[in-house]
Structure formats: C-alpha cells, structure tokens
Amino acid sequence: MEELDKDNIEDSAFEAFQFVSFYVGSENYGVSIENVESIVRIPDVTLLPQTEDFIKGIINIRGNIIPVIDMRERFGMVPINYSSTTRVIVVKINEKLIGMIVDNVSQVIVLNSEQITPAPDVIHGISGEYLDGIGKQGDDIVIILNVEKILTTEEIIEVDQIKLKSPENSDKKGY
C-alpha cells in the first residue's frame, strides 16, 4: 500500500485504495488488491513434514506450486475444519506467491485516506507489525494487513525450501 501522507490530506482525501476484504474468525481483514494474484476455493493441499504448524503445505494452481499458510493458526487462533466458504487468497510477498487460507472472502472495498488510521501496537491479539492500518467504512472496521510482514525472513526462507522439497519438484519416487 502506498504510504499515506497525512500532511497533505486535503490533496489526498479523495485518493482511493482498494482492498480484498476477508474474515478470519469474526474479524474482518483486508489486503491491498495490488498484492492479490487470485482467490480460489481451497484445493487439495499436499502436506509437508517438519514445517511450522501454520504452514499447511503446498497447492498447485495452474501449474504453479504455491506454499499455503493458515491465517487462523498464523494469528494464534484455534484451527477449524475447512468449509465451503474457505478460500485461498494468493498474494505476492517479496516476489513470491503465497496462499493465505481464510475463512471466507467477502468483497473488494474502497477506502480513501481519511478512512484509514494508523495501526495500534496490538489489535485483537495481532501485533501491529503485521498491520498497515485500520479502515473504517460506516460502522464497519477492516484490519488492513501488510502482506509483506505476514512472514518473517526466516519463514520466507522456509517457504522457499518447501518448494524445493515438494514432490512436484523431486525426481525421486516416493517422496
């Protein structure tokens, strides 16, 4: 998301930002539409051993092998069984495709800079480091995630390793 310049609010008051809005638990989140590559129903996930609990494995979308993370578990929430509303939002993080498993995707929302406030240090148990801000649209609140901070550098390295050891990239039978 572009940096909001609060000093120049009069000029930017009508600057619009688009977000894909989704739910994890009862909370409404948003990610900049610029980071979203696609949204799909949850396909079969190939589980991989020895990864963080929130890294669910890999999926194959149109020939792309994409690691997926469960946002409930990433945020320390209790895991649930996936349902007919569960979706994977494929986002680009540091030039890599990552799938985010969410409870459901609701809509694309448009917020102007006056509707976005800075993120607090912690909101609903989620560290402010993951957040770009809080969007307000009428009575609705949207927690705006910074997708580039969803994974640490070490976790991005682990995700890269997942792709290398995935069965689709292995020449060895039985992996």
pLDDT at 151 (0 to 100): 76
State the architecture of 6-169 in CATH terms: Beta Barrel (2.40)
Report the C-alpha gap between 70 and 106 in whole angstroms.
17
pLDDT at 48 (0 to 100): 79
Tokens 């997708």 correspond to what residue? 147
Residues in the chain where the model's pLDDT stays below 70: 1-14, 121-128, 153, 159-160, 162-175
| Alpha-carbon separation of residue 82 from 33, 75, 89 (angstroms) | 24, 16, 14
pTM: 0.80
pLDDT at 118 (0 to 100): 86
For residues 159 and 98, is the Cβ–Cβ distance under 8 A? yes
Helix-strand-coil split of the chain, %, nearest 5: 20, 45, 35
Tokens 């993951």 correspond to what residue? 130
pLDDT at 37 (0 to 100): 96
Tell me if residue 125 falls in helix, strand or coil.
Answer: coil
